[in-house]
Amino acid sequence: MNHPILTAEGVDKTYPSREGDVSALRDISLTITEGEFVSLVGPSGCGKTTLLRILGGLLQADRGGVHIDGQILTEPRRDIGFIFQDPTLMPWRSVLKNVTLPLEVQGRNGHEHRKRAMELLGLVGLLGFENLHPHELSGGMQQRVAIARALVHEPAILLMDEPFGSLDAITRNQMNLELLRIWNATRKTILMVTHTIQEAIFLADRVLIMSPRPGHIQATLEVDLPRPRDNEIYYNEDFAKLYHLVRDSIAAA
Ligand X SMILES: Nc1ncnc2c1ncn2[C@@H]1O[C@H](COP(=O)(O)OP(=O)(O)OP(=O)(O)O)[C@@H](O)[C@H]1O
CA distance linking residue 181 with residue 155, whole number of Å: 17
Q: Which of 47, 81, 87, 140 binds ligand X (CB under 6 A)?
A: 47
Identify what 219 binds: Mg ion, ligand X, none; CB under 5 to 8 Å per kind. Answer: none
Using the minimum distance from each CB to ligand X, give the nearer residue, 18 or 135.
Answer: 18
Give which of 14, 56, 11, 5 is closest to 160, Cα–Cα: 56
Told to check if 44 binds ligand X by CB under 6 A, we report yes
The residue range among 39-47, 73-81, 183-191, 225-233 that interacts with ligand X, by the rule CB under 6 A, is 39-47
- The beta strand positions in 3-156, using DSSP E, are 4-15, 22-33, 37-41, 63-68, 71-72, 80-83
Q: How far is the CB of 24 from ligand X (least distance, A)?
A: 4
Contact letters for Mg ion, residues 38-57 (x by CB under 5 A): -----------x--------
Q: What is the dihedral of CA 44, 50, 51, 52, to 10 degrees?
A: 100
Host H or E run for residue 158: strand 157-161
Among residues 49 and 174, whose Cβ is nearest to Mg ion?
49
- Residue 23 is a binding residue for Mg ion (CB under 5 A): no
Task: List the 217-222 sheet strands across, edge first.
Answer: 80-83, 157-161, 189-193, 37-41, 206-210, 217-222
Interacting partner of 47 out of Mg ion, ligand X, none (Cβ under 5 to 8 A depending on kind): ligand X
Pairwise CA distance, residues 41 & 207, whole Å: 7
Binding segment for ligand X (CB under 6 A), chosen from 3-11, 40-48, 135-143, 178-186, is 40-48
CB of 49 to ligand X, least distance (A): 3
Helix/strand/coil for 157: strand
Position 143 contacts ligand X (CB under 6 A): no
- Binding string, 189-228, against ligand X, x = CB under 6 A? ------------------------x---------------
Site residues, ligand X (CB under 6 A): 15, 17, 22, 24, 42, 44-50, 213
